[in-house]
A and B are shown apart, each in its own frame.
Chain A
Amino acid sequence: MLEIRGAGQRFNEAGWALRDISLGVAPGERVALIGPSGAGKSTLLSWLNGSRFPTVGEIVVLGQSLHRLNTSRRRKVQRQIGTIYQQFHLINNLSVLHNVNAGRLGYWPLWKSILSLLVPVNVPHCRQLLDQVGIGEQIYKPLTQLSGGQQQRVAIARVLMQNPQIVLADEPVSSLDPERSRAIVDLLTQLCSDRGKTLVASLHTVDLAQKYFDRAIALKNGRLLFDKPMAAVTSQDLSQLYESQDQD
């Protein structure tokens, strides 16, 4: 489903932000990407959604090698990948409804996208998805009136609207308090397994990863430290992962 083959990323002369990464993700898996900040988690996820190409190596999504595709083919693959961000990256000046509908932009013809801003289409479906993430009554509110947790729920509803086979989440709960974080991760993993979607999420808190995911991929200083079932992760692994980085 997702495959990284010998990939590495170099941003400047200083060195490799990620190197020698090879791994594969099977359909329906729930993978937690863990590691200290600066380890390269965001970079790895940006490979997977096609917003960045690795300096060396190859990324294969749904059997297609991303950098070999032309733009419109790549866009078709990208429609099968939904991404949720730490800073939400929603559209502040639009209502919740339009933000959720934005998930369909890859499928709609242009005239429909523009028309929908004037006469919203797809409202019942939006409402249904928003109900599922628990904020159905906020549908007509401007996005800025929502709290951080609510906005992340909108982002999840948008991904559901996009209805991809793969969901990527880059630190989806880092800007939320612990109570809300747990609720959001719970919701996200639940929805993904209900619909048989593959989920890859980077997380900075190991306890959430251990509770909700079945596989752990650990990155440290741009290298793959370990990749094993969550149940097999030992406290030794974790202390090695998070110990001070200068000692390696």
Chain B
Amino acid sequence: MFGLKTQKRSYLYSVNPNGKTLFWLVGLVVIVVVAIALSITPDQPWLNVGGFNQFWGFWVAAKTPDLSTSFLQLTTVSTLQTLAFAICGTVTSLGLGFGFGVVASEVWWQAIAPRWSWWLSRAVRTGLTVPRSLHEALWGLLCVELFGLDSLVGIVAIAIPFGAIAAKVFSELMDEVPRHSFEALRCGGAKPIAAFVYGILPAVSGDLLSYGLYRFDCAIRSAAVLGIIGAGGLGYQIRLSLQSLRYEQLWTLLGALFLLTAMGDFWSAALTRRQTNVVSRSKFRSKIPFNSIGYGAIAAVVITTSFIWVGADYGKLLSPVTYSRLGNLLVAAWPPDWLTLGTAWQEAGEVMLDTMLMSVVAIAIAGLGGVCFAFLGSQKLGQNDTSNFASSILPRARTIAVRGFLLVERAVPEPVWALLCLFVLFPGILPGAIALGIHNMGVLGRLMAEVVDNIDQRPIQALRHTGASATAIFFYGVLPQTLPQFLGYILYRWEVCLRATIVVGLVGAGGLGRIIAEALSSFHYAGLASALIALFALTLAADTLSQVLRRHLQANAAE
């Protein structure tokens, strides 16, 4: 996603609807339609009429959230805990990302083993695809096996996949730094590592920081999901309330999650915008009242408090018990038991196909909804030039409503949406796809609304002056500017959806996630291994396809 952002400029220019693009678009639409058709298989009932009472009960409870002092206290503590997970997870992932980013970069190996630099950096990068392609919830479950129910799960499970993604981004940034000062230091006889520390690292340190802030809102959402798995915090309370059918409490907790997400989005947006808008760092520093030491001190205090306050048993990271458990787990997992996926290859293929279908239907829902809401929620679009307050009040209200709606969609974690769907739908692809679709619509809608707000207004003004109708302006002025970037985001988010099928599968929605949940609850690690390998293969295939399509898109946009 970070990559997409930096490439924004190249997307902003026109999309070139040549034959190839049209071919891809038609192909994509066909795939999506087939996927939807397949996921509503007519020979099975999919609507669970009996569940409507529960479903209704949930909505009715919205009128009376539990606002008792004791429960509000519990909610506050849980919210802070989730926030602390997100902070600790982000910080740890940045540390890991930095360390692994260094050894994944080519320039590092050029410094210490020039002859093998390409191979070594490729090897590390390939190794990083494994932690990156598994969802943090899966890491959470594996951590629970190793650490038991401990806050450590919440930190480590965020740190591993986020760290691997950060490592990839950082290594690419380091390789992009011009080499001349590095080379100059080496010519003066500096040791390779010292030359790297002085000549390469300072150039990327600012980017590392803004990347961390940028990922913080994702970390909050992940922390909530991990809570549901058992790490503690808001997610855990949500799970307890759901299990005991106390919807009044659930609404209070969801409200807290809403506020937390809103805060995360706000900070992430505010800080990264400030970081990227800064042309020269010195100007930035003189403009704000704090110097960077002041900010650093505040950050240090907040981070240290978070690490202490989550109360994780950090000793478990090094304790022999953990490693003997890990050893047992690996021994039990080998060789993988392929029969878990199905008694025949065909069955195994069906499970994988189901998982894929779920992600496709989900991204279709998320993408379509996201595009619609992005335009509805845009601040600039559809407003006239008049700055008359009365006439701008309606669009403004609409903007706020749409943005609030998108925020609700993404504040509620996927498994919670899935559980709600499972009230009225029988387990299968559909409830999972809808749950993922709703959540990701919230994420995509926000990203896309940003795109719409940032479009170049000049061509639109020009069209308006020619007397073009609003529809014509939309199709000739707005859509061409935004579509390539929308498609880029949708493809990127599709990769995320495929990984996240696991989370909704865990609560019973179907696909590989369900098999993983069953294997875990019956301690059938060999079965777990086979499901994980199947998932990894699927993720790799989807990432490759998405990358090819995105590159194609970008090449077209740049033409």
Contact = CB atoms under 8 A, between A and B. Distances in A.
B55 interface: no
A97 to B, nearest CB: 12
Given A89-B180, A114-B194, A117-B197, 20 more contacts: A49-B187, A75-B189, A76-B189, A81-B189, A89-B184, A91-B199, A91-B202, A91-B203, A92-B181, A93-B205, A94-B202, A102-B190, A103-B188, A106-B189, A108-B194, A113-B191, A114-B197, A142-B281, A162-B188, A164-B188
Contacts of B185: 102, 105
Interface in A67-113: 75-83, 85, 87, 89-94, 98, 102-103, 105-106, 108, 110, 113
Contacts of B281: 93, 142, 144
Contacts of B205: 93
A91 B188 contact: no
Contacts of A79: 188-189
B282 interface: yes
Contacts of B397: none
B198 A78 contact: no
Contacts of B197: 113-114, 117
Nearest to B183: A51
B201 to A, nearest CB: 9
Nearest to A117: B197
A105 B282 contact: no
A113 B194 contact: yes
A110 B194 contact: yes
22 contacts: A49-B187, A75-B191, A78-B188, A78-B189, A81-B189, A85-B184, A89-B184, A91-B203, A92-B181, A92-B203, A93-B205, A93-B206, A102-B185, A105-B190, A110-B191, A110-B194, A114-B197, A117-B197, A142-B281, A144-B281, A162-B188, A162-B189
Contacts of A98: 198
A50 interface: yes
The 7 A-B residue pairs with the shortest CB-CB distance in the complex, in nearest-first order: A106-B189, A79-B189, A105-B190, A78-B189, A93-B202, A89-B184, A113-B194
A22 interface: no
B195 interface: yes
B198 A91 contact: yes
Interface of A: 49-51, 75-83, 85, 87, 89-94, 98, 102-103, 105-106, 108, 110, 113-114, 117, 142, 144-145, 162, 164
Nearest to B203: A93
Interface residues of B, number: 24
B181 A91 contact: yes
Contacts of A81: 187-189
B244 interface: no
A87 B195 CA distance: 18
Contacts of A162: 188-189
A80 B188 CA distance: 8
Interface string B68-101: 0000000000000000000000000000000000
A102 B189 CA distance: 11
Contacts of B1: none
A184 to B, nearest CB: 18
A91 B195 CA distance: 11
Contacts of A92: 181, 202-203
Contacts of B203: 91-93
